[in-house]
Structure 1
Amino acid sequence: MATVAASTSTPAQSISTFFHAPLATNSARSKAITEAIAFFICKDIQPYSVVENEGFQYLLHILEPRYHIPNRKLFTDKEIPLLYEKVRHEIAKSLSNAKRVAITVDGWTSRATDSYVTVTAHYIDEEWVLQNHVLQTRPFNEAHTGNNLGLLLKDVCCTWNIADKNPALVTDNAKNMLLAGVRAEINPHVRCIAHTLNLASQKSLKVDRVSELLVKVRKITTFFHRSPQATEVLREMQAQLHMPNHKLIHDVPTRWNSSLDMLERFWEQQPAVLNTLLSRKIKRGEGLASLTEEDMTLIPEVIKLMSPLKVATTLLSEEKHPTISMISPIQAKLQKHFQPDESDLLEISVMKERFRQDFDGRYTYLQDLLYYAAVLDPRFKDLAFLEDHGTKDMVFTKLTAEVVMMEEEVRIYSINRS
């Protein structure tokens, strides 16, 4: 029987091998799959070791049993460098056709505490589509001085042949970044409006009474995050009170809007939270401070004051559309919103003052350019956000004169060419 089984299994194995012959590594199909894997690794920021993962190998075997996955060395030594050069060439070609380019630069630290700097280019292509490309992400072990960052920006502009395109620069408000723009001789240098709002909002939230309130809410949130028992009782209370089953949100020190998110969620859930804290089923920590009546009065007022800032930040967090035209309208809206009011609580009045002190005057050096950008945006072209008619007339006059001058330059250029 063993002999018969062996003899009958041979043809089946031959047929299987015949119909699933391995793809040649130089075949078009095999090359396309290998290139697709390289693209997947880069696009989704996957580790090279993904090609050795059992699940990934099983997926590819189901999709194409004849394909043999190369080892990771092929991707590190050949495929990824080839893909990089291909993409780099395409970006360089596209950049060469751009009339103007804006670049952004920012420093960051990895989880391994390595320091990096990323430079991104933004421009309108020949089809009038906004393009965004990361030109460089490189280790930056030198001191993050304005001089060193300025030299880096010059090097990037030279490497990508965009120095003659009169690039604009966008950075945060850090002093070293402001000095970097001067050192690199890049003008205009626009300070990131989202970062500006973050700084002014942080100053506003540091008012003593408000800061103390955030500490109390933060401790309560931390208590629920660390206590499974308290979380379970909270779910029961939410069900009894017919409230949404939402978890409390913990804020992040570097993001002001996360503090607002924390307050909003606490205020939404405060009936269930307060009832849970009074329950005998849980054991409260000694450091958990009780909220006073004044605290409960202040929370909705803080939310009301800061909510427009959250909306503005969301509007400005765009990648596919320019945002410079929104800076002046947002300025005007917030300056009006943060004007003092006799009905304000004392803490709200101080918050408004702190915000205005930090926010007002941030863009005075660039105000005309921001007005021009707003005029050229169909949403704001009538400058309805400006109450000073004299300023409106001046902006329209200056911009009209500039357009006439540009038309004259184009006319002279056309005559000379003919």
Structure 2
Amino acid sequence: MEPVAKRGRSEMWEHFNLISSNKVQCLVCHQQLAYNNNTSSMLRHFRAKHEAGQAAASIHGDRKAKIDEALVNMIVKDSQPFKVVEDQGFRALVSLLDPTYVLPSRQTLKSMVEAKYHEEKQKAKEKVQKATAVALTSDMWTFIHMDSYLAFTCHFVDEGDRLATVLLAVAKFGERHTASNIASVKGSIMEEWGIPKSKVMCLTTDGASNMTLCSTMMEIRHSHCIAHALNLVVKKSMKLTPGLEEVRTKARDIATHFRTSTVARERLLCLQKQMGAPCAKLIQEVETRWNSTLDMLQRLYEQREPVGAALAYLQTDISPLTSNQYASIGQCIALLAPLKEATVELSAEKHVSGSKIIPMVKMLRHTIAAKQRQLTDDTARILGKHLLGLMHEKLGNYELAGQHALATLLDPRFKTMGFCNPTNQQNAIKKLIAETATVIRQQSPAPSHDETPSTSEDAP
């Protein structure tokens, strides 16, 4: 319950909470006072009991500044609402920890967070502008309520030779998703951050035609995101495998049932304990993320015995998976697991991944081919066949991409070992030699025209 009119007019409400229509409580000493729709009694109490303490506390302004900063960091890092400073429990906790500290109002806290945002953004701008070269990544997505957003991120090596990442913007995108509109928004963001095109080595996006054309219009080298390319390969391979599609449909139905039915969930938990299985919930796949399909199948395969027993006990109309289908799941998991590991490795932000793409694709092709030879299940064999075919079709071009090939050659861990095609390897070596020669010529001092070449007659 809050005072109707005067709370916003008096600073006393920074130190008192209204606990009933006619009582307030001091947040410093917790004493209760009568409240008659004015703050006179609160003012008298505070001056008599706490004002000296407040004056003493003002001497320690550095401590207040540190607590203010910690409060702002808590709001930002934990995504807390500004109204937390009005919550009675939180105010009481802060008062107990430091009776001399006065929590800011909701509006003041909002201003503090905004000031911190501008301060940190300025620091980030300075780091970006000091970088000699940057790489950019961007993505677009649409929420269920049809609002679209564009994320734009900058990657560079900072002055301490550390890989750094700065999120430039997450902008609501209200225009049509044309290459021209996307290029306009990205160009505005780059201008705001002081990033000239000459400093941008590469722009990585998904392989959509509008994204590729956007890079062309911006005159920035484009790279197709390897994680997105892998996602397309796996999703298409799964859809081309009829037996796996049937298994996925059943698995989704089973996962949905146990996630939405309290009775089913409790029965599964009971059977997990009885059978000594991990007490873990089933996972529902997300259509846009193939690795969630793998997670769903792995969890269901792990829990196949308690799930089967629970379905038999519950006598539902949910169709259980057969032993042959579980065998298919086990072998399909063996094929898909390396692709998930590669996706995680290539999506990391804390280390450079460009030089890993070509050897990672080679490793995946060899690994899946080796597993393919050991498969006994027809569904898994079909999946493996499609994975290998689509990887050759969709991922083979990375060896032809100059920046990826050069990065692999220059990485001492891989050099020429990462290439699948010897011709691509030799072409990359020639390109590296040519570019190295160009750099040497550019860095060599031009000959001075003032110098006169010596002759035999000039010699002593």
Length-normalised TM-score, structure 1? 0.84
**SS of the residue aligned with 1:181?**
helix
Residue in structure 1 matching 2:334, options 301, 304, 309: 304
Name stretches of at least 5 consecutive residues in structure 2 with no aligned partner: 1-43, 449-460
Aligned equivalent of 2:274, options 240, 243, 259: 240
1:195-206 alignment runs, 5 A limit? 195-206=228-239
What is the distance in 1 between the residues matched to 2:299 and 2:322? 18
Could you tell me how far 1:310 is from its partner in structure 2?
1.2
Give the drift of 1:320: 1.1
- Report the Cα distance in structure 2 between the residues aligned to 1:197 and 1:98, rounded to whole angstroms: 31
Q: Which residue of 1 aligns with 2:113?
A: 80
1:194 aligns with one of 227, 234, 244: 227
Moved more, 116-125 or 14-23: 14-23
Q: Does the C-alpha gap of structure 1 residues 296 and 85 become closer, same or farther in structure 2, counting only changes over 3 Å?
A: closer
Contact kept? 1:119, 1:134, Cα under 8 Å: yes
Change (3 A) 1:413 1:172: farther
Any idea what SS the aligned residue of 1:327 has?
helix
Find out whether 1:216 has 2:246 as its counterpart.
no
> Aligned pair 1:256/2:290, yes or no?
yes
Going from structure 1 to structure 2, the CA distance change for 1:361 and 1:56 (only over 3 Å counts) comes to farther
For the pair 1:131 / 2:161, whether they are aligned, the reply is no
Distance in 1 separating the partners of 2:410 and 2:419: 15
The gaps in structure 1 that reach 5 residues or longer are 1-9
Q: 1 CA distance for matches of 2:177 and 2:102?
A: 46
Provide the residue aligned with 1:326 in structure 2: 356
Q: How many residues align?
A: 399
Q: What are the within-5 Å matches in structure 2 for residues 2-401 of structure 1?
A: 17-21=51-55, 23-24=57-58, 27-76=61-110, 78-109=111-142, 114-163=147-196, 164-187=198-221, 189-206=222-239, 207-279=241-313, 282-284=314-316, 286=317, 288-339=318-369, 341=373, 345-362=377-394, 364=397, 366-381=400-415, 383-401=416-434
Aligned to 1:137, the other structure's residue is in SS state: strand
Q: Are the equivalent residues in 1 in contact too, given 2:283–2:295 (CA < 8 A)?
A: yes
Amino acid corresponding to residue 348 of structure 1 in structure 2:
A
Q: Aligned in 2, Cα 1:211/1:172: closer, same or farther, shift over 3 Å?
A: same
Question: Shift of the alpha carbon at 1:58?
Answer: 3.1
Indicate the larger mover: 132-141 or 394-403: 394-403
Q: Contact 1:125–1:131 (CA<8 Å) still a contact in 2?
A: yes
Q: Please say which of residues 307-316 and 225-234 is displaced more in the overlay.
A: 225-234
Q: The residue matched to 1:335 in structure 2 has which SS? A: helix
Contact 1:103 1:122 in 2 (8 A): yes
SS in 2 for 1:278: helix
- Distance, in Å, in 2 between the alignment partners of 1:202 and 1:271 is 28
Give, as a single letter, the amino acid of the residue that structure 2 aligns with 1:334: L
Contact 1:151 1:183 in 2 (8 A): no
- Deviation at residue 388 of structure 1 after TM alignment: 4.4
Residues 28-65 of structure 1: CA deviation (Å, up to 9, x unaligned): 44344334433433344333223323343234323332
Give the distance between the partners of 1:237 and 1:46, measured in 2 at CA: 39
Counterpart Cα distance in 2 of 1:11 and 1:385: 77
1:18 Cα deviation from its structure 2 partner? 3.1
> Does the residue aligned with 2:141 lie in a helix, a strand or coil?
strand
- What displacement does 1:197 show? 1.1
Distance between the aligned counterparts of 1:413 and 1:84, measured in 2?
A: 48
In 2, Cα distance between equivalents of 1:387 and 1:194: 19
Larger Rg, first or second structure (1 or 2):
2
How far apart are residue 356 of structure 1 and its match? Answer: 4.2
State the shift of 1:309 in Å.
0.7
Return closer, same or farther for 1:414/1:139 CA change in 2, 3 Å cut-off.
Answer: farther
Paired with 2:144 and 2:75, the residues of 1 have a C-alpha distance of 20
Aligned position for 1:5: none
Q: Which has the higher contact order (CA 8 A, sep 6+)?
A: 1
* Cα separation, partners in 2 of 1:105 and 1:388, compared to 1, 3 Å: closer
State whether residues 102 and 123 of structure 1, in contact with CA within 8 Å, keep that contact through their aligned partners in structure 2: yes
Distance 1:414 1:264 in 2: 68
Residues 143 and 55 (structure 1 numbering): CA distance in 2 closer, same or farther, change over 3 Å? farther
Instruction: Quote the offset at 1:100 in angstroms.
Output: 0.8
Contact 1:147 1:180 in 2 (8 A): yes
Displacement of 1:323: 1.3
- Shift in CA distance, 408/63, structure 1 to aligned 2, threshold 3 Å: farther
Does the Cα contact within 8 Å between 2:311 and 2:320 map onto a contact in 1? no
Alpha-carbon shift at residue 256 of structure 1 (Å): 0.7
1:241 to 1:15, Cα distance in 2 relative to 1, 3 A: closer
- Look up the SS of the partner of 1:398 in the other structure: helix
| Structure 2 SS opposite 1:70 | coil
Q: Which string of whole-angstrom CA distances, capped at 9 and with x for unpartnered residues, describes residues 163-195 of structure 1?
A: 2313411112223222221222211x1111111
Whether contact under 8 Å (1:39, 1:83) holds in the other structure is no
Judge which range, 149-158 or 108-117, deviates more: 108-117
The whole-number CA distance in structure 1 between the counterparts of 2:184 and 2:97 is: 49
The residue identity in structure 1 corresponding to 2:172 is P
Rounded Cα–Cα distance in structure 2 between residues aligned with 1:413 and 1:329: 40
